[in-house]
Amino acid sequence: MPHTRPAPPAEPRARHVSVLATGAHLPGEALDNDALARFCGPLPADVLDGIQVKRRHWMVDPATGAHTTSTSRMATAAARQALERAGVQAGEIDLIVLSTASPDYLLPVAATYVQQQLGLEDCAVIEVRAGCVGAVQAHDIARRLLADGTYTTALVIGAEAVSPLLAPVFWAATPNAYACATG
């Protein structure tokens, strides 16, 4: 009688994963290009045409340079809105994946501040340090960990705070369009 090999074990079936809701948060009043020009001089037309940004929200008060919020507080505000829209209680979250290239501090990761601000004691956190592509990476990480059953409910957040990186340029020197455009 020939020896037969046992069939390989079946792959575990991945659970269906869905995005239930989204949230957003923009700090402060909108700052248009004219207001920005008052602080750093006029932006070159080719820069304005290239980026096509007409207004932006800064977490830095343009008049004083004082920070009005932080990356983690903005992320938490967006998370609360998404949770409300989804009808999910914060306590149901067992995974937070946050993508940012502009955390509050180098350590601990900003995701732990979001965890604290949402009052979550038993929740895993992962932070992806990346720019734009980080949001896609964060979604993929959460999707995989939800699909394989490692976690049941995830909060995926992308948060950026560029104004604290640029603001020192505006207050450190005479208005300078080049510094503003390349800052």
* Residue 75 counted as domain residue: no
* Residue 13 counted as domain residue: no
pLDDT surpassing 60 at residue 175: no
pLDDT per residue as tens digits for the range 50-101: 888 888 888 888 777 788 999 999 999 999 999 999 999 999 999 999 999 9
63 and 113 assigned to the same domain = no
173 and 146 assigned to the same domain = no
175 and 150 assigned to the same domain = no
Instruction: State how far the Cα of 116 lies from the Cα of 29, in Å rounded to an integer.
Output: 27
- Provide the domain count of the chain: 2
177 and 155 assigned to the same domain = no
| CATH number, domain with residue 98 | 3.40.47.10
Cβ pair 125, 109 in contact under 8 A:
yes
pTM for this entry: 0.81
139 and 166 assigned to the same domain = no
* Residue 59 counted as domain residue: yes
* Residue 81 counted as domain residue: no
* Residue 84 counted as domain residue: no
pLDDT per residue as tens digits for the range 108-143: 999 999 999 999 999 999 999 988 899 999 999 999
* Residue 21 counted as domain residue: no
Instruction: State how far the Cα of 83 lies from the Cα of 121, in Å rounded to an integer.
Output: 17
* Residue 1 counted as domain residue: no
* Residue 78 counted as domain residue: no
Cβ pair 109, 128 in contact under 8 A:
no
109 and 141 assigned to the same domain = yes
Report the alpha-carbon angle 109-20-140, nearest 5: 50
Q: DSSP alpha helices (H): ranges in the chain?
A: 33-40, 45-51, 71-86, 110-117, 133-147, 163-172, 177-182
Q: Which domain holds residue 45?
A: 26-70+161-183
40 and 51 assigned to the same domain = yes
145 and 177 assigned to the same domain = no
pLDDT per residue as tens digits for the range 1-42: 566 666 665 566 788 999 999 999 999 888 888 887 777 677
123 and 151 assigned to the same domain = yes
Phi, psi of 25 (to 5 degrees): -150, 130
94 and 153 assigned to the same domain = yes
